[in-house]
Amino acid sequence: MRIYLASRSPRRRELLHQIGIDFDTVVFRDGKRADSETDETPLVGEAPVDYVERVARAKAVHGQRIVKERRLPMRPVLSADTTLELDGEIIGKPVDRADAAAILRRLSGRTHRVLTGVAVDHQGRSEYVLSTSEVTFREIDDGEIRQYVMSGEPMDKAGAYGIQGRAGMFVAHLAGSYTGVMGLPVCETGELLKRLGFRPL
């Protein structure tokens, strides 16, 4: 079994390897030349659960389009999107260090939801699954926030933290999927691929 992964995330790559899935990577352009089809800007009034589904599905569909344009072997394209929800608000990746620090101050001592949507596009068929987890942070002081932000770890991560890294020491409680919070819920991903007739194990 071999698929395409439409993601740059090293964490998603690691998790797919963990469950024995071989893959090639489909990379989207970013920065000023970013593909408009995979724009992660939330729509006005868009609910967090709708946002992650829209973005995850769009990445899978666009990834499949790239596969066809490059005349690559036809295989399933898997994509994912992760966001945080706090007080009904979508919290994505920080724009700079000051934003990362502000996000972490908001999360300190509180419970937030982590939503990871996973989509697969294959042979004109699209499948989707949502992983929802609740994460509670202990109180984090300004010194800890400053040190963590200076490490650079928060900068490419939704909610300005990576649970598998240094921020693991901020997590007082987790209800849900640890790998979902990392960015790819392996249980749900395996079930999703089984729907398309692929068995990872």
Q: What is the pLDDT of residue 170?
A: 97
| Ordered mean pLDDT values, 10 residues apiece, the chain (201 residues) | 90 92 85 70 93 96 93 94 95 95 98 97 92 98 97 94 95 98 95 83 65
* Domains in the chain: boundaries: 2-195
Q: Are 79 and 118 in contact, with CB atoms under 8 Å apart?
A: yes
Tokens in use for 84?
Answer: 């945080």
Helix (H) or strand (E) holding 144: helix 142-150
- Pairwise CA distance, residues 188 & 192, whole Å: 6
Q: What one-character DSSP code corresponds to residue 29?
A: -
Q: What is the pLDDT of residue 113?
A: 98
Select from 47, 54, 55, 50 the least CA-distant residue to 87.
47
Q: Which residues are catalytic?
A: 81
Question: pTM here?
Answer: 0.92
Given CATH 3.30.1330.60, say whether it is the number of domain 2-195. no
Strands 77-86 and 2-5: parallel
Q: State the amino acid at position 196 in one-letter form.
A: L
End-to-end CA separation in angstroms for the chain: 10
Q: What is the pLDDT of residue 30?
A: 67
